[in-house]
Each structure stands twice: as C-alpha cells, then as structure tokens.
Structure 1
Amino acid sequence: MASAAEGDVGAVAELARVLRWGFEELSLNKLAASLGATEQALRLIISIFLGYPLALFYRHYLFYKDSYLIHLFHTFTGLSIAYFNFGSQVYHSLLCVVLQFLILRLMGRTITAVLTTFCFQMAYLLAGYYYTATGNYDIKWTMPHCVLTLKLIGLAVDYFDGGKDPNSLSSEQQKHAIRGVPSLLEVAGFSYFYGAFLVGPQFSMNHYMKLVQGQLTDIPGKIPNSTIPALKRLSLGLIYLVGYTLLSPHITEDYLLTEDYDSHPFWFRCMYMLVWGKFVLYKYVTCWLVTEGVCILTGLGFNDFENGKAKWDACANMKVWLFETNPRFAGTIASFNTNTNAWVARYFFKRLKFLGNKELSHGLSLLFLALWHGLHSGYLVCFQMEFLIVIVERQATSLIQESPTLSNLASITVLQPFYYLVQQTIHWLFMGYSMTAFCLFTWDKWLKVYKSIYFLGHVFFLSLLFILPYVHKAMVPRKEKLKKME
C-alpha cells in the first residue's frame, strides 16, 4: 500500500516538473503580444485550461485513492497555478487559509468565529484592493482572493451550523453543515482546488469532501461518466471565447471615453452602449463555462439524478439559454454568476431574516457584493442601479398582471414579437448603462459617459419608481370593484 502511495506522489511530482518546464520554455510576453493580450491575461487563460489535463490525471490515478493524496494533489496544483500567475504573492492566500484553520480550531463552533472570519477575511481582501488599486482592470492576486474569501466565510458559517441541532436548521443548512472537524490539509485542498481557485465557482466544504470520498459519480464504484457533459460546456465556452476575441478589438469601453463617441448622435451613443453591454459580459461567460467543464470532468459538477438522468450542474455559473433569450433584468440576474448569487443568498441574504424587511436585506446584500468586487465607486453605482432596476421591474410586472387593460393588451399574440424587441432593447441598453460604471471603475470616467447620455438610466428608472405607484392606483381596480365585476 505504501509503495502505491509513493508512486502516486511521484507521478504528481513528475507531472509538476514537466508542466513547469513547459511554462518556462514559453516566451509568454511575445506570445501574449502576438495575440493582442497582456501576459497576465494569457497566464490566466492557460491556467484555466490547464484544469483539463489535471482533471484527467485525477480521474485516472487518484479518484478512489486515499483522501490525503487527493488533498495534497489539489493543494499542490492550486498553489502551483497561483505561483505561476502571481509569483511570491501567493503568500496572501496561504496566510488566510492557515489563519482560517486556526480560527476554526481555537474559537470552535461559535458566532465569534463566524464574525471574526467575516471581519478578517473581508478586511484582508479590502486592504488588498486598496493597496493594489489602479484605474484599470488588472489581473492580480486579489482576483482569486475574492473567490477564496467567500469560500472561507462559507466554511466558517457551515462549521458553526454543524454544532446546532439539525432540527433547528433549514434543509439547505443541513445539507451544508459540517459535522466533523476539518484538518488543515482538508481546508487547503478545498481552498486551492484547481478547478475553481482562480475564478470560481463556489461550492461548500461538504460537496468538496464528497468528491474526495468518491461519492460524486453517476456510476458508483467507477469514475464519473462526465466527459461528454464537460466537453459540451468547454465547447460552449470556446464559442464565447472566439466571439469575444473577434469583437474585443472593435468594441471597447475605452471608446466610451473618446471625443469620437461624444460627437456621434444620441441614438448612436445609446446603441453602442447597448451592444457593448451585451458583449462585455462574454469574457466572464467564457471563464465560467470553461472552469465548469473542469469541475464536471472531475465529478464535482454531479448534482444527483433527475428522471433517471444524471445532472451535472452543481458548479454551473451560467444558464446560457436564459442569459441569451430572457428579456428581463431578473432573468439576467438569475442566469449570470449563479453560484456567487446562490452563495450570497445562502450565507448573507437569508441570514438577515431577523431584519424583517426583504428590501433592506436585498439592499445590504448588494452593498456587500459591491464591496466584495472592490473599492471603486463604479461598483457601488452598478449595484445601486441593479437594486433600482429590480424594484421598478417588479412594479411594472405587477401593474401589467393586475391591470385588466394592460394584461389584455400584453396578451395580444400578434404584438408579442414587438413587445419582446422593446423589452430586450430596454433590458440591454440599461444593462450596458449599469456595466459602464462597473467596467470604468472611477467616478471621473463613468461620470463622463453618463453625462454624455444625460444620465438616462437614472432619470428613466427613478421617474418610473415614483410614477408607477400612481399608475397602478389609477389602472388597477379596487377589490370591491373586482368583486362586482366577478
């Protein structure tokens, strides 16, 4: 048994040596320049795609091996990827992982441990943002660290829940509650898992341990039959990657700041923002689809069976069809970065139930998300717009459903394509409006663009916020009138 384990460790070491040699032989600067990308962006792409050979190695050599070997493999490969991308700055994640383990061990299953974790991990991340901030989007150690921050906070909450009476927990909390005491190696393997370390997705410690224990497979006792599902997500990711690569030189956020953009007619400025707002999200879609394929290949994407068929969406961060076709803002929110949204709902929004106000809980959750993304004012403006748009969209939907006149008008079949076109135009125009602040970061940049289109998004939705209640009152009959009509 010992010789087999030594052989596995030797194989991992040999794999790492070969990969490191290959990386050193590449002239990444020249290659990145020839592709029109930065070296850091190229390193990120290489690292994401590197997950596939690592997943294949894991499937064929480690899937049912001893847990400590799997944790070592995940820790070593994750740290190697971190070092390849960020060099000695890998110490930031190492420090937070080790300190998080100590917090769990020394403070136990207490609310103090949860609050200490939240304050320390968020403070460390925000300090990282502060000391590394520039006016542009840079790929630096804070990028994977924001993913790690959520992982470690979730770990502390699940560990806390594990000390409670199961009957006092919701079914969701029972599913994620950690009953045992994680070792440092388990926490490290969970934190550095190569399929999710750089850009996500989020998953719980319990789900990760099921992977290590060989439970995440559709064929008990054998490696998961997940190759085809993984290749489907990879292929979809490659389609988005090609689309982004072809369009990125021609549709940029930098153009929004030019005099040429300002000199065009108002309608052109709006339409450019609409097209750019749709396209700019493709880089995120690409990364999430490719990494989801890695997670599926390892088995981490296994999500039980439905109608006798295995589901592989446990690590899905994108609902592509919904993203491309739904004409509502709520549809985009439900389809985009779904794992992070689910994390915020599970560990933040639902934990604010004691406030007794869903709108307040929603607003605080979006404030948390804005700070989690960074300290730039653009993030606050973007999530403020999301909050405003969602409230107005709910009001408008309620008005149309409850007003007999509007509901009858909305149900006219021949007008459905026209309604859909109008909805999609409004949807993506103001998605682009919100993303302008998100991508331009600093107030002087996004303010310049917003001035050029006369703060259209704020004027439009703030006006509707105050007008729609009066329209609702005028067009929706009172219950007494409805009873008479019945």
Structure 2
Amino acid sequence: MAAPLLETVSESLGSPEPAVRLILSILIGYPCALLYRRLLFHQPATVIHLFHTFSGLALAAFNFGSQLCHSAVCVLVQFLMLRLMGRTVTAVLSSFTFQMIYLLAGYYYTATEEYDIKWTMPHCVLTLKLVGMSFDYYDGGKEPFQLNPEQKKAALSSVPSLLEVCGFSYFYGGFLVGPQFTLRSYQRLVAGELTDCPGKPANSVVPAMKRFGVGFLCLLVYAIFSPYYPDSYFLTAEYEAQPFWYRCVFILLWAKIVLYKYVSCWVIAEGVCILSGLGYNGVVDGKHQWDACANMKVWLYETTPLFSGTISSFNINTNSWVARNVFKRLKFLGNKPLSHVTSLFFLTIWHGLHSGYFLCFSMEFFIITVERQAQALVRDSPLLTRLANSPLYPFIYVVQQFIHWLFMGYPLVPFCLFTYDKWLKVYSSIYFCGHVFFLVVYLSMPYLRKALVPKKERRDKKQE
C-alpha cells in the first residue's frame, strides 16, 4: 500500500521516490521528538536508547531496506573496538581506518554517474560519528590540562554500552542527513540535562517551529525552481549555443537553487534536534540558545559577499568536526597550510571518489587563499580602505556579491556532475573562466600591493 502511494506522490511532485522517502523520514522526526517529550522524558535511559535505536532503524529500513545491515555492522565493530582496544592510539587509528575503508568501499561498489540517494548517504554521517566517538573516548583518558575546551566538553569518562552507542548512532534527528553531535551531548540529552527548565522537557517548541518554517521555505523554493535549473541542462547543445554571459549567469542561478536542497534538509533536521532538546546550548546574555545542532547560518549564507563567509555558514557541524578531529590534531606538523590541505583532502574523499569532488575542494582552497590575500590588501591599503567605507560601498557590495555567487557556482559544477567528461565539457564551454580569473588575481597581487600599499606598511608587514 505504501509503495504505490509513494509512487503517486513522487510523480505528482516530479521528484524521485527516494527523495520523497528522505524528506518524509526527516519530517517523521518531529512526531518522534514530541513522543519523546510527552512520554519518554522521565523514563530510564535504557528505554530512551531503545526508542532511539528502533525508530532510527525503522527509518533506515523505510529508506534502504536490508541495506541497513551496513550501518549495523559498523556500529557493532566500533563498539567492539572501544571495548577490546581501550583508550589507545591503536583503537583510534583502527577505528578511522576501518570506518573510512568501509565507506569508500561503499562508494566504489555503488557508484553511478548520477546523484543517488542510497545507503552511503547516511553512512557518511555515521562514519564521522563513530570515528569522533573513538577520539572522544581516547581523550577521556588524558589529564584535563592536556585537552582544549572542545575536547573537555566531548571527552568520555567511561566506555559506552552497546545500547548507548546504538541510540547515539540511530537517533532520528541526525541519522539521515546530520547534524553531527558528540556522544557526550547525546548522553546529556538522555539524562534530561539539555533543557532550559530542569526536570522538564525543554521549552523548545517555538524555536523548533521557526527552524522548520525556514527549512520548509527553502524546500519550497527548491521544489518550485529546480525543474528550471536541472544539472542535465549543462550537457545539452542548447546550453552550448547560448551566449557566454548567459552560460555564466545560468551557473550562478543554478548554484543558488541547487544548494537549497541541502539547506532545507539540514534546517528541518535541526528543528527536530531542537524539539527533542539536543539543540539546547546554554544561556548567553540571559537568553537560552538553541543552536547546538545548527548546520546552517541562513542569514549569513544569504547575505555574505565573502567565499569564507559562505563556507562558515554552510554544513557547520561537519566543518567543526573536521576542524576538531583532523585540523587541530595535525598541530604536531607545525604547518597550518599543510594541515588545511590535509583536512580538505579528508573532506574530499569523505564525500566520494569522483574526480569532481577533488576539483571542487582544490578550487575552494585556491579561492579562499586568493580571497585572504585580497582582504589583507584592502586592510593594508589606505585607498582601498577608504573606498570600502565610502558611500560607494553598496555598489561595490552588489558587484562583489555577483562575483561571489558566480564563482561559488563554478566549483559546484564538478561537485554535482561528478565525472571528468561532464565537468570538463562545461568548463570548456565557459573557457575555464574561474581558473583564469583567480589565477590572474593571484599573480597580480604582489604588483597591486606594491602600487596600493605604502612602503612603510609593506616594510612593517615583512618585519612581522
């Protein structure tokens, strides 16, 4: 009965059935959170773990059928590693190696040339959870002075039970699309500590509904406009026949629309976490905060004219996970650029094995490098500083925003088209304008500094 109904809904919406299943599964998180608040908040931890485990497994079965076995295997293996290997570097390295190899093998054996919603999608979220848990358990064996504030907050004082690991892994608010959160946060949720009124469920209905409203609006925008901006249009003769400016503007508009697919899912899922209490983040300036599971800063995302601003507003929890468990743990290298490159490489293979991912993240690194140099130039140049603070800034902002979104869309082309033959065809049709633009700016930067920055400022900068 359910399958024909889903087919009818997907046909009427013009969306693939797996996408409809995914959205429904994220929305089911809201009644699950209400059930937890109403009936389970004061129940023993075992009952809550069982509820989270079986509700998550039901969602996994609804979306992926028997393929839920992949997540079950990895959860069980991770638990055994913690139990048998203890707080050792061997346990951390074994966890990292096993979970990443399993994920990459999944990518390899299920790869197609299209974006498919399959078991590897939630599994990449699960991989970070399980690897992060091994880091946190290892940190729990260190002295407090050896840990930074983030590590202290996430460190595990004792080995979790199998049921606890299952509840954490399959929690309905984060199993399918994230967000990332630590086992310690999950333990505090189950203990009833994540609330603004001790001993009672959190007063989080209104904050949760606000995030749901924002997420639903983004989903509506995507549903209405995505049919006009399909990925497949890039590969048509019609696209190639369009003027150069049209091809570039199409990329800009396409990027804005296609990213709402991710924004809507993350913000709606965040609402589930807020409703359950997991989104509670303490009190700041006398106000209760509900952003512990925020994966998007929607206002910043929509208004920032900076590439770095978009990146810092997008997929926040995943970026924080990489910063905490990869970038900062590479401090022993003594080389920030190398740590940054290594972190981006990890993010690349975590997304998948297609060449498009490698090109996207390498381009991101190059763009951010150039932008930082440009920001330093504006900061050091009296002329550019005055211009940036002048009445002309609104016009500058519009131009900057156009460039920003045009070249945000540029690296997204290989990210969404995946394979070499496809993204090369698109890049050739726009004459690799993104590569050319940023390469010219990068090579021009020393000459611009010489022309626009006074000698004294340049000399002081060198001495620093």
Task: Report whether the alignment pairs 1:471 with 2:455.
Answer: no
Q: CA deviation at 1:411?
A: 2.0
SS at match of 1:164: coil
Aligned match for 2:382, one of 404, 416, 427: 404
After superposition, what is the alpha-carbon deviation per residue over 1:286-328, rounded to whole angstroms, capped at 9, x for unaligned? 0001000000000000000112211000000000100000000
Task: Report whether the alignment pairs 1:442 with 2:436.
Answer: no
Aligned equivalent of 1:157: 135
Mapping of 1:34-433 within 5 angstroms? 34-413=12-391, 415-433=392-410
After superposition, what is the alpha-carbon deviation per residue over 1:133-155, rounded to whole angstroms, capped at 9, x for unaligned? 00000000000000000000100
- Quickly say closer, same or farther: Cα 1:481–1:25, change in 2 above 3 A: closer
2-structure distance, mates of 1:438, 1:481: 39
Q: CA deviation at 1:410?
A: 2.1
- Quickly say closer, same or farther: Cα 1:409–1:25, change in 2 above 3 A: closer
Counterpart code for 2:211: R
Counterpart code for 2:401: Q
Q: CA deviation at 1:25?
A: 7.2
SS at match of 1:313: coil
Unpaired segments ≥5 residues, structure 2: none
2-structure distance, mates of 1:476, 1:64: 64
- Quickly say closer, same or farther: Cα 1:376–1:482, change in 2 above 3 A: closer
Counterpart code for 2:324: R
Q: CA deviation at 1:480?
A: 7.4
Contact 2:103 2:127 in 1 (8 A): yes
Aligned equivalent of 1:14: none
TM-score (normalised: structure 1): 0.93
Task: Report whether the alignment pairs 1:462 with 2:432.
Answer: no
Contact 2:380 2:457 in 1 (8 A): no
Q: CA deviation at 1:26?
A: 5.7
Q: CA deviation at 1:475?
A: 2.4
RMSD (Å), alpha carbons: 1.2
SS at match of 1:102: helix
Q: CA deviation at 1:412?
A: 1.4
1-structure distance, mates of 2:39, 2:363: 49
2-structure distance, mates of 1:444, 1:32: 30
2-structure distance, mates of 1:303, 1:315: 9
1-structure distance, mates of 2:438, 2:269: 36
SS at match of 1:302: coil
1-structure distance, mates of 2:245, 2:389: 30
Counterpart code for 1:27: L
Counterpart code for 1:269: R
2-structure distance, mates of 1:278, 1:356: 37
Q: CA deviation at 1:207?
A: 0.4
TM-score (normalised: structure 2): 0.97
Q: CA deviation at 1:189?
A: 0.4
Counterpart code for 1:210: R
